[in-house]
Amino acid sequence: MDHDKQRTTPPALATAELRRRAERRLKEKMSHSPERTLAETHRLVHELEVHQVELEMQNEELQNTRDELEAALDQYSDLYDFAPVGYFSLDARGHILKANLKGAALLGVARQQLTQRLFTSFVLPTSRPFFVTFLELVLASGEQVCEAALLRDDATSFWASLHGTLSSDVEGEKKWCRVVVSDITSLKQAQEAQRRMEALAAANAELRQEIVQRKAVEARLEQSKQEQTRLLKRSQAMHHELRLLSRRVISVQEEERKRISRELHDVIAQTLTSISLRLAALKTEASRNPEGLERSIGRTQEEVVRSVNIVHQFARELRPAVLDDLGLVPALREFLKQFGTETGIHVKLSAFPEVERVSSDKRTVLYRIAHEALANVGRHAHASLVEVAIQKLDGAVCMTVKDNGKGFRQQGSLRARKVKRLGLLGMRERLEMLGGEFRILSTPGKGTTVFAQIPLKTRSSRKKAPSSRCLSRAGT
């Protein structure tokens, strides 16, 4: 009610003042013209009444205008004080000239206590240089935006977005800065959460990649483990085979020594005893029968020659001298001739001349493999024909020994019945010592083919010999 009375009182006072002024002016006119008629008086009264109505209408219009201005002022006050952002007016040095209620609430200070306080006192030290630059740029360019960490009066901090514009009076002499302050702590937290999520996603991607790599490494390790297990089993099997081979070699050596000892005792010793007896007889016969001396000496020479031949045969079986003196091909021809004579098996030999240029060790291995292969043919194959071929293929010397005998089951041939198959193991071991390879192709009823391959150049034991057509035939 007081508010309404305050709004209506000024128009009433103005109307009373106008009425008094009008009455006073009317009295003055009547005092100067006492002779006026009643009609003129009525006309003047009518004019006054009309003028009064006009004044009342003007007063009503003024009252409406005032109400509208008060409503606009209330709306402006509501928009300014209760806006969702803080409004601050700052002078050139950063002192707070005005602030709305939201701005005071953001800083945690009553609005009446903000006046003339430095806005920088509410800025964290880490953000003060940015705020000072921001204020200078607003005063220089007219508008600027920045972000700063602000400190409330209760010592809690928050992130704020500052949007500043330049303002001045009509003459442009006095300038100040209007700053809109928005709390963007949630946005900053969301951005930080997004950054952490992106970092976490990147870390997860790296972790997944590392997991994939670790799985690949584990797979390779598992393959390596399986390969090592396989190699270990193979090594153990080979070690077992080598032990059997070593035992067999010792046994064979002992048997060979027994045979040579027996041959020396039964043949050479008997022959030498016979020669000794014949020489004693010759000594007696020379005095009694000079005519039969020549015949006895001839028989004694035959015994000596036979003993020498037996010694030569032993030497050839141990190591033929022709292999060192004339080469691989002549040694093989001599052995094959003797083999054919002893077994009745027809033997064919073909070789390339350059084979004699390979090292002595390789020629010896080839000879031993041919010797062992033909020995197996003579003992087991029941063949009528054997073909021995030595070729140069793909940087390697390839030798094949092929017979038309009964053959055998190839599966497990190097492991089953190992005592009887140690000759095959020996051939393989001889070749692998020189970096070569050994294969056997055999089918029951269709004969057997032994393939031996030795590289012409010395290679590391860890590297395989060159894959040639010789060994490819063995795999077919």
Q: Cα(364)–Cα(321) distance, rounded to whole angstroms? A: 12
Please tell me which residue, 240 or 449, carries the higher pLDDT value. 449
pTM for this one? 0.42
Q: What does the angle CA 70 – CA 74 – CA 78 come to, to the nearest 5 degrees? A: 170
Shared domain for 47 and 118, answered yes or no, is no
Q: Reply yes or no on whether the pLDDT at 390 is more than 90.
A: yes
- Residue 190 located in a structural domain: no
Final residue before a domain boundary, out of 42, 61, 81:
81
pLDDT in tens, 141-197: 888 999 999 998 888 999 999 999 998 876 667 788 999 999 999 988 898 899 999
What is the percent of the chain with per-residue pLDDT over 70, rounded to a whole number? 71
The amino acid that residue 188 corresponds to is K
Containing domain of residue 307, as a range? 208-318
Final residue before a domain boundary, out of 271, 293, 318:
318
The CATH number of the domain holding residue 151 is 3.30.450.20
Shared domain for 466 and 360, answered yes or no, is yes
- Residue 196 located in a structural domain: no
pLDDT in tens, 124-157: 999 999 999 999 999 888 889 999 999 988 889 9
**Mind giving me the DSSP string for 356-414?**
GGS-HHHHHHHHHHHHHHHHHIIIII--SEEEEEEEEETTEEEEEEEE-S-----TTTT
- Residue 58 located in a structural domain: yes
Alpha-carbon 73 to chain mean position: 71
- Please report which confidence band the pLDDT of residue 26 belongs to, taking 50, 70 and 90 as the band edges: low
Q: Reply yes or no on whether the pLDDT at 415 is more than 60.
A: no
Which pLDDT score, from 0 to 100, does residue 12 have?
57
The tally of domains found in the chain comes to 4
**55: closest CA among 89, 15, 114, 82?**
15
Q: Cα(392)–Cα(375) distance, rounded to whole angstroms? A: 25
Shared domain for 304 and 330, answered yes or no, is no
Q: Cα(158)–Cα(94) distance, rounded to whole angstroms? A: 20
Shared domain for 65 and 102, answered yes or no, is no
- Residue 255 located in a structural domain: yes
Shared domain for 290 and 417, answered yes or no, is no
